[in-house]
Structure 1
Amino acid sequence: MDKPAPAQRKRAVPAVTRAIAILRRLGGSDEPLGVQQIARDLGLVPSTCLHILRVLKDEGLVAFDPVSKRYFIDVGILSIARSAIEKNPFASLIQPKLDDLAKSFGLTAIAVKLVEPTSMVVVALSQVPLPFRLQVDLGSRFPALISATGRCFAAFNTPDEAMLRKGFAALNWDNPPEFATWREEVRQAREQGYAVDRGNYISGVTVVAVPFFDDRNRMNHGMVVIGISERVATIGVPALAREMLAVRDEVAPMLMGKPGG
């Protein structure tokens, strides 16, 4: 009888891990950062941090301001991100559907992907020319538990209560809901199959989200429609959600068995 193959162990590659952490820290900052601050925030030795930053700069992923002595994300990262999005089967399949939703309802429609246990990233979007429009960018990253997508994530990926409370406490809202109210809305999302954020995340804005699932029935992607609350109320959340669920049910089977789907 053959012996079972030994389980493969993940090998830590500290330099790569640190470089990724630095890129994420710079990408999440609204202003350039100095070596000392980056090192302090990430718990790195300053000399190690500086060495990695110089390599990232040479590769065009990070830029350096010689006046302020600070670093920031450079445009070289865009080609990598664009290639990843263009080759993502979910993004290519959902894009025409987002265009139809945006045009039909006059709202912003986006698609997101769960990229790590605590973050979602925008992989596709469609916006219509309106006097007032919400600005959303490809590659935008946000906490997995925030807004309507967060209610879906909590409903279907079911982290334990302690994790939910800790994650919820760290969220930034314009109008924070009470945890008990939010938990009830999570329950409703599980029951209805979609979630709604009415002005909690952004004042005056309603967000409707529909989840996509992996083969374990856990949320791995989401489709989101965003608009001024008055306009969404005129359309009607149930009608909007029905249309989004129909799109999800049409697209989801096409993703089965596709890498990254």
Structure 2
Amino acid sequence: MKSSPSPTAKPVKSEPATKKPVRVRPVPGVTRAVAILRLLGRSSQAMGVKAIADELALVPSTCLHILRALVAEELVKIDSDTKRYSLGTGMLSLARSAIESSGFASLAQPVLDVLANDWNVTMIGVETPDIDHMVVLALSRSRAPFRLHVDVGSRFPALVSATGRLVAAFSDEPWPQIEKRFKSLRWDKPIDLATWKREVELVRKRGFSIDRGNYMNGVTVIAVPLLDAAHRVSHTLVATGLSDNLVGSATMDLAKAMKKEADGLSALLPSRR
């Protein structure tokens, strides 16, 4: 005869395993090599070992070993006469591969070309991978004599100018972190935090951002977002032009034209999880 289960007994449910965050262990050699590459990329001239080591707080002998490895991989080159280092041609092929593998760059380029031609502004396609920096992936220059010092691959602080307001508006970062990064930004005409915060709130409502002369004196910057599945900014379309040429309704009309194109591109891009 089989015994009956206790009336108080209940089936035990197995709890779903909690996914532990992946711990990224620092690799000093890799971190230092990347820091050297970024420093050389920012520098307007070649640098010697001591200057690089001093700037990055590295032991000169360690710095030299890393530089030699980078030279061997053609990521860095050395002038045999001056013994100074600069970025090598190997960086170009890496950058080209990264850009070519970006679906955004190939999709955005025709759109940027049309907008730049129709409105005579410089159009830029930007990726915003995080709250720290943004990267230029596509570019179409205007016919005007005004030239913005930017190239494909250029990096900027993520919260600066018009794109920065978009990143802040659609970010899930806590405000104290955003405020901390804002205080480190550099502007031609600095904007106070309270005013910037009000403009960020406005961006959430109208879906685009305008910087009129704050980031660069005399230059108007317009940015519209491409939002991912989590409603964060994954990329932006950016227009830059002389403020004297973007007057009256022209600024708003251009922003609306850009927003229409950005909405179309968003539908074509795979969702970023």
- The equivalent position to 1:77 in structure 2, one of 72, 81, 91, is 91
Q: Displacement of 1:55 after TM fit?
A: 0.8
Distance in 2 (alpha carbons) for counterparts of 1:69 and 1:183: 48
Q: Secondary structure in 2 aligned to 1:200?
A: coil
Moved more, 117-126 or 35-44: 35-44
- The equivalent position to 2:183 in structure 1, one of 135, 155, 169, is 169
Distance in 2 (alpha carbons) for counterparts of 1:84 and 1:53: 23
Normalising by structure 1, what TM-score? 0.91
Counterpart residue type for residue 105 of structure 2: A
Distance in 1 (alpha carbons) for counterparts of 2:203 and 2:224: 9
- Answering whether residue 36 of structure 2 is matched by residue 31 of structure 1, we say no
Q: Displacement of 1:66 after TM fit?
A: 3.9
- CA deviations on 1:99-144 (whole Å, 9 max, x unpaired) are 1100110111010112444110100011132233324211111100
- The equivalent position to 1:145 in structure 2, one of 154, 159, 165, is 159
Normalising by structure 2, what TM-score? 0.87
- Answering whether residue 196 of structure 2 is matched by residue 182 of structure 1, we say yes
C-alpha RMSD of matched pairs (Å): 2.2
Q: Conserved in 1, the CA contact under 8 Å of 2:126 and 2:135? A: yes
Q: Displacement of 1:41 after TM fit?
A: 2.9
Counterpart residue type for residue 15 of structure 1: G
> Paired residue for 1:90?
104
Structure 1 stretches of 4+ with a deviation exceeding 6 A read none
Contiguous gaps of at least 5 residues in structure 2: 1-13
Give identity over the alignment, percent.
Answer: 48
Distance in 1 (alpha carbons) for counterparts of 2:188 and 2:15: 60
- Answering whether residue 218 of structure 2 is matched by residue 204 of structure 1, we say yes
Q: Conserved in 2, the CA contact under 8 Å of 1:108 and 1:225? A: yes
Distance in 2 (alpha carbons) for counterparts of 1:128 and 1:6: 49
Aligned residues: 259
- The equivalent position to 1:226 in structure 2, one of 240, 247, 252, is 240
Q: Displacement of 1:24 after TM fit?
A: 1.0
